A and B are shown apart, each in its own frame.
Chain A
Amino acid sequence: MSEPLIEAREVSRQFESVEGSIKVLQGVDLCINPGNTISIQGESGSGKSTLLNILAGLDRPDGGSVVWGSSDIANQSSSKLARIRASLIGMVFQSYYLVPELRALENVMLGGRISGMNTDLKERSKALLEKVGLGERMASLPATLSGGERQRVAIARALISEPKVLLADEPTGNLDEATGDSVMGMLQALCVDANVALVLVTHNTNYAARMDSAWILRQGVLEKGS
């Protein structure tokens, strides 16, 4: 069996508030292997996004460890982590986070520019936008795109750097059911095509059921779903 891309071991995270410390994650173990699709469900505030941020190296756990390949991210500087993240992980958010000053094509290309994958970037970006069905909207600014179109651009932007893992935080959360289904189908197909592991945080049981493995976060504890 191949080496896991990302492995979380006994990860815990707590936040301080006026009411005392809140334990958001407690002893979370998760292994993401190449090409795997994983869903994480849970109530709002159960720590799903926190777990994704820790897996992406954007946040540091209070206890336990996160290992990318063979290196513990606790031992890496933030600059080194950023460089590794650029080639290892793609992220998709519920609110798309497109750069409003850039056109659809430029937003996609930005992902490649930041990860340093500049070879044939424009052609690859165009091809990816064609794949997500936005061949006609490449020159459009985000403000002129619908929610579904914006999320497609965001997915293309996440995949342009050819990541090994895609972390998607409720990618259909802001979309209606039909558009959500379409975006979800496209996301899954793209990940399968490119052999990209997908970690999907979602409230939608149907989408969760389509993944190789399903997990549920309850009061900071990650449990295997049905």
Chain B
Amino acid sequence: MPWYLYIALRHLFPQGKRFPVYTLMSVTGVVLGEAVLMVVISVFNGFGHEIRTRIADTYGDLRIVTGDLIYNTEDLSERLKSMESVESAVPYAHGLVMLLHKNKPLAPMVEGIDVRSDEELGKYEEYLLAGNMDDFDDDSILVSSGLADQLQLYVGGEVEMYTPLMMLKLLESDGKDMLLPRSVRVAGIFQTGWQRADENTVICTLRLMQDLYNLGEGAHGVRVELNEGYEIEPESRSISDALGRPFFARTWMDTHGDFLSVVQLEKRMMFFLLFIIVIVASFSIMSSLLIFVIRKTREIGLFAAMGATPRQVAACFCYQGLFIGITGTIFGMGLGFTLIHFRNHITSTISRILGVADSMNQIYGFSYLPARVEMADMIGIALLSILVATLAGLIPAYKASRLDPVEALRSE
């Protein structure tokens, strides 16, 4: 081991002596910066992942459409399922309805799902707050939590449903026909955690939707779930190419990408804002090392007298910055992973103390704080922290290398 590396280590971590305060303070700064960055970025990743999962669950990874009704959905679904990347493909129909309950009208989006698909039913069962999927049939609907709140709907209750087609018929009959709504039962209330879906959505069976919209055996498209490991954008292009015209694939990113972009933007902004902690820590390292250079002036003179080159003296202090960065990063990662692991205990304790329990669920629709550790982010944070700490050692190192050995040896 080169002597300057050895001395750098022994200055920072001397044997048989107490841990130097300056080392402790410098390392602590990096530890805190690293840990906070890790936790915040992981939580943002977790939010992004959860939202992406919930959007994909309600929207599907891809939707195959033609711009018109599709009648041969069975054939299309089979063709899609035969593709390696496709996990499931089920027909759907969607539109707008008006719900009337206790004289209060609301116009939510409605999605007709294929109840023959266990996967489709399983997905919504996961998000049910009340009710049972076994009760979900062609005469019932699932309503989102926001809609249930606004219309005061409850499981087992009846609600009147009007479609634009009914309005059209009324207009065509010049008011001679009576407008008879379709009475449906509320089979369940769901909450996905994706605010847009939870505010104003009704789920019904595809058969009911075909009936309401007079679609016959047709559907508006086929919803596709991809197998794990397939990227949505490139896969949508290859599926579109494979199916050929008039089919084309739309991804949820085309319609809801803006929401995720906001999460991504927030993540980046938080990274830069919180990275300031690491930069502040680097100034702490720099000032500590500068004081250390002054304290060790005579020693630096001694090194020169023993034959050390100015570059070796500089390396000695530069390596101290590097070692502070590495040590801080290791402990910071340990603290960060610990905080991420116990994040829900920590947030629930804080909520209990502040008396704001369940705020996470109320605001974000999550009963827990999501977090997702992505290795690329963690490696990036670690490397940046080490780099900044090393750079913080450069000025003290330069100052040490510029010391006049004679003056250094004379210093008190």
> Which A residues have a C-beta under 8 Å from some C-beta of B?
53, 56, 58-59, 78-79, 82-83, 85-87, 89, 91, 93, 95, 97, 99, 101-103, 106, 110-111, 113-115, 141, 157, 161
Contacts and interface: CB of A to CB of B under 8 A. Distances in A.
A161 B307 contact: yes
Contacts of B298: 95, 97
Interface string B25-54: 000000000000000000000000000000
A86 B3 CA distance: 13
Contacts of A141: 16-17
Contacts of A87: 307
28 contacts: A53-B405, A53-B409, A56-B305, A58-B406, A78-B309, A82-B310, A85-B305, A85-B306, A86-B306, A86-B307, A93-B302, A93-B305, A93-B409, A95-B298, A97-B301, A99-B302, A101-B11, A103-B16, A106-B10, A110-B3, A110-B7, A113-B2, A113-B3, A114-B3, A114-B306, A114-B307, A114-B312, A157-B306
Interface of B: 2-3, 6-7, 10-11, 14-17, 298-299, 301-312, 405-406, 409
A103 B306 contact: no
- 6 closest Cβ pairs, A-B complex: A86-B307, A113-B3, A101-B14, A79-B309, A82-B309, A97-B302
B19 to A, nearest CB: 12
Contacts of B10: 99, 101-102, 106
Contacts of B312: 114
B305 A58 contact: yes
B4 to A, nearest CB: 9
Nearest to A87: B307
Q: Is the contact region of chain B dominated by helix, strand, or loop, or is it mixed? A: helix
Contact of A82 (B14, B16, B301, B307): B307
Contacts of B305: 56, 58, 85, 91, 93
B320 to A, nearest CB: 12
Contacts of B311: 79
A103 B15 CA distance: 9
Contacts of B2: 113
Contacts of A102: 10
**Interface centre among A85, A87, A103, by most B CB within 10 Å?**
A85
Contacts of B405: 53, 58-59
Given A53-B406, A101-B14, A113 B6 contact: yes
Given A58-B406, A97-B299, A110-B3, A83 B307 contact: yes
A110 B306 contact: yes
